[in-house]
Structure 1
Amino acid sequence: MTNENASPRPVHSPCIGVCALDEKDLCIACRRSGMEIAEWGVLDDAEKRAVLALIRQREADDKQS
């Protein structure tokens, strides 16, 4: 039996505490942009999931480079 009133699990930050932006304004550790890092606390879960999808794409692009 599922509880329809239960809130979904929150989307956690991909931050691992190594905060340094590269020449493309992307964190070398979590691959978020400076703006994505700054706005993370005010994004809703759908927006956070969209950022996580961008991160996965950036990681895939990095592997192809």
Structure 2
Amino acid sequence: MVTEDRVHSPCVSICALDEDDVCIGCQRTGDEITRWASMSNCERKAVLEKVAEREQAVAL
């Protein structure tokens, strides 16, 4: 049986939520940060996809 490696947090130790409740360091919402430890790898990957979208939106 193959076990999947745990998806690690995108935290970069710059922890501050903006007015939209999104961390300016890792681009996760407050809820995503709070729930991260209890998320499955599938849920974590979905959050990382949203993080990538948020990062691109900020870069524009």
Within the candidate set 27, 40, 47, 1:51 is matched to 47
Unaligned regions of 5+ residues in structure 1, if any?
Answer: none
Q: In structure 2, what is the Cα distance between the partners aligned to 1:6 and 1:12?
A: 18
Computing the radius of gyration from Cα coordinates, the structure with the larger value is 1
Structure 1 SS opposite 2:33: helix
**Residue equivalent to 1:32:** 28
Identity across the alignment (%):
42
Unaligned regions of 5+ residues in structure 2, if any?
Answer: none
Q: In structure 2, what is the Cα distance between the partners aligned to 1:31 and 1:41?
A: 16
Letter in 2 for 1:28: I
RMSD, aligned CA: 0.8
Q: In structure 2, what is the Cα distance between the partners aligned to 1:9 and 1:38?
A: 21
Task: Give the TM-score taking structure 1 as reference length.
Answer: 0.87
Number of aligned residues: 60
Task: Give the TM-score taking structure 2 as reference length.
Answer: 0.93
